[in-house]
Amino acid sequence: MTTAQPLDVQPTPLALLLLGREADPKSERGVECPGDLPSPSDPDLVERARAAKEKLGDKVFVLGHHYQRDEVIQFADVTGDSFKLARDAAAKPEAEYIVFCGVHFMAESADILTTDDQKVVLPDLAAGCSMADMATAEQVAECWDVLTEAGVAEQVVPVSYMNSSADIKAFTGKHGGTICTSSNAKRALDWAFEQGEKVLFLPDQHLGRNTAVRDMGMSLDDCVLYNPHKPNGGLTVEELRNAKMILWRGHCSVHGRFSLDSVNDVRERIPGVNVLVHPECKHEVVAAADYVGSTEYIINTLDAAPAGSKWAIGTELNLVRRVANAHPDKEIVFLDKTVCFCSTMNRIDLPHLVWTLESLAEGNLVNQIQVDKETESFAKLALERMLALP
């Protein structure tokens, strides 16, 4: 493996602080841990996590998102993307505690899909998602008012990315829409355009635009960008009436870092390299890439790639590093010049996991994520529409 980029680097508290410093103060990030965390330098952390997990036995089921640190992933019973993990949790009704090593919206989705007896726990309540935080319930309700006043709301079907809060999923369910993942976004849009004439795509503008233009043959002019921080979303009534895709102005702070320069630069440095990126990347990056797909698609593509092939990957660094280590016979590099972890996901570290498991083993339920019943029922409706997509 050639490590043209520093794949062996570990996330540091300083790097995470800097990456996360534009946090929305209204979000759940910044919440202090309610208990005494073990020191990160405690040499017994691995043993303590193992002992607590063993004591809990079948009562606990640990989920590890693909972007999670290795020190945490080693204790995961299953790994995957957010939707797969929520479904894995639902398929394990005997587990009383679901410890979700991921971010807040993922734990909410797991709570929505699991039984009332199961308790979903997020080891660090400060692990939010900057993209999910970019669409609040109040902002989306205001947007719907703007669409209503423009006389287009009745033609609009909301489609929300899995990476959204339970409130946004509930809004989507209430207004006849569906949830999508990065794997089924095209199917969700096909379905939505059978139900209505326009789509309000939340909260990731890039996934919405890339799917509409790249997979569905729309033009960039068919898309408008709704900015929740501007009056009327910064759009005229005419723009709203002419648009097919109304894209929410949200993005992933990790995937949004990749640029056309990163693609051009890696092609120059590594002749014959295949550029493989996630659809949360900007449109110009996706347009310049050779392959585009979800996290699972990226893993499967690299698993199937021939020995000796060269790859530059545009997604979160923990995942790229793990896949590169699993394929020493292929040249796998990170697409960006700078280190790019998901800062909030990386807040879940071994001390938080140890604290969580030991608390549960002592009978103390900590950091439970609970979605209220009304929100849950509408959010579930939207999720069920996704599961029923053809």
Among 79, 114, 130, 262, binds ligand SF4 (CB under 6 A): 130
Which residue lies nearer to ligand SF4 by CB, 280 or 358?
A: 280
Among 131, 179, 235, 371, binds ligand SF4 (CB under 6 A): 131
Find the part of the chain contacting ligand SF4 (CB under 6 A) among 115-123, 207-215, 252-260, 286-294.
252-260
Which residue lies nearer to ligand SF4 by CB, 127 or 146?
A: 127
| Closest separation in Å from C-beta 271 to ligand SF4 | 30
342 binds ligand SF4 (CB under 6 A): yes
313 binds ligand SF4 (CB under 6 A): no
359 binds ligand SF4 (CB under 6 A): no
| Closest separation in Å from C-beta 383 to ligand SF4 | 18
Residue closest to 252 by CA, chosen among 67, 25, 13: 67
| Closest separation in Å from C-beta 317 to ligand SF4 | 10
160 binds ligand SF4 (CB under 6 A): no
253 binds ligand SF4 (CB under 6 A): yes
Among 192, 252, 285, 371, binds ligand SF4 (CB under 6 A): 252
Which residue lies nearer to ligand SF4 by CB, 134 or 353?
A: 134
Query: Per residue, what are the HEC states of the chain?
Result: CCCCCCCCCCCCHHHHHHHCCCCCCCCCCCCCCCCCCCCCCCCCHHHHHHHHHHHHHHHEEEEEECCCCHHHHCCCCEEECHHHHHHHHHCCCCCCEEEEECCHHHHHHHHHHCCCCCEEECCCCCCCCCCHHHCCHHHHHHHHHHHHHCCCHHHEEEEEECCCCHHHHHHHHHCCCEEECCCCHHHHHHHHHHHCCEEEEECCHHHHHHHHHHHCCCCHHHEEEECCCCHHHHCCHHHHHHCCEEEECCCCCCHHHCCHHHHHHHHHHCCCCEEEECCCCCHHHHHHCCEECCHHHHHHHHHHCCCCCEEEEECCHHHHHHHHHHCCCCEEEECCCCCCCCCCHHHCCHHHHHHHHHHHHCCCCCCECCCCHHHHHHHHHHHHHHHCCC
| Closest separation in Å from C-beta 51 to ligand SF4 | 30
Among 16, 99, 103, 107, binds ligand SF4 (CB under 6 A): 103
- CB count within 10 Å of CB 24 equals 13
- CB count within 10 Å of CB 132 equals 29
- Quick note: the x/- pattern for ligand SF4 over 198-227, rule CB under 6 A, is ------------------------------
- Quick note: the x/- pattern for ligand SF4 over 58-97, rule CB under 6 A, is ---------x------------------------------
Find the part of the chain contacting ligand SF4 (CB under 6 A) among 115-123, 172-180, 217-225, 339-347.
339-347
| Closest separation in Å from C-beta 22 to ligand SF4 | 11
Among 316, 331, 336, 376, binds ligand SF4 (CB under 6 A): 316
Which residue lies nearer to ligand SF4 by CB, 16 or 381?
A: 16
Tokens matching residue 113: 């899909």
| Closest separation in Å from C-beta 349 to ligand SF4 | 15
Q: Give 86's Cβ-side CA count (13 Å radius).
A: 19
| Residues that bind ligand SF4 in the complex, under the rule CB under 6 A | 67, 103, 129-131, 163, 252-254, 316, 342, 344-345
